[in-house]
Amino acid sequence: LLGPSLPLASPLLASPLRALTMGAVNCSSAAAYDAYGGRLEEGCWVECTDSRGASEPSQGAARIVRVFDGMITLKWSGWTGRTTSYNQDEIRSWGLRKILVDKDGNKLKADQLVETREGLEGFVRSVDEWTASFTFAGRDYHDRNRTYQQGEIEQYGIRITGPTRRDRKCTNVACP
């Protein structure tokens, strides 16, 4: 797996608290943490980031298939599709960060247009480390906003159907 090389003065390791807690594994915990201190669990997704913390989309996203003794095993999406294991040092050096994805493994971002398996359309309101909030059209006013974790996003078949508002552009001459 090829990826960015990170300098030792990377912001990933800038926090002394995170540097102490990342990779800290004891007999009662087989946890693993991303390069930013977020806890990683089986079924979560990660992406590579550069030394400034920006996403590296060329690497694709990967699903965590196993967490054991501070190590993770990833199944990469995209053209490679291979399975690779990483220890805490490798997680930090690749800048692996936990993300949320749609049912097809595409990273969720605020303002993206989405659709459920049943055809209900909406958009992504916000995304944090563990949940994504959506607003769907056609629902009762008090029941339009939903917040889902990764497993629920996959369960309801939520997929991205359009770019973020920032990425949408006019395609004809009539646009201002």
Q: What is the pLDDT of residues 27-66, one digit of tens each?
A: 335 789 999 999 999 999 999 999 899 998 888 899 999 9
Shortest CA distance to 51 belongs to which of 100, 22, 9?
A: 9
- Say yes or no to pLDDT of 8 above 50: no
- Does residue 88 surpass a pLDDT of 90? yes
Q: Which residues contact 77 (CB under 8 A, 6 or more apart)?
A: 60, 61, 62, 63, 105
pLDDT tens, position by position, 116-145:
999 999 999 999 989 999 999 875 677 789
Residue carrying the six token digits 């390791």: 13
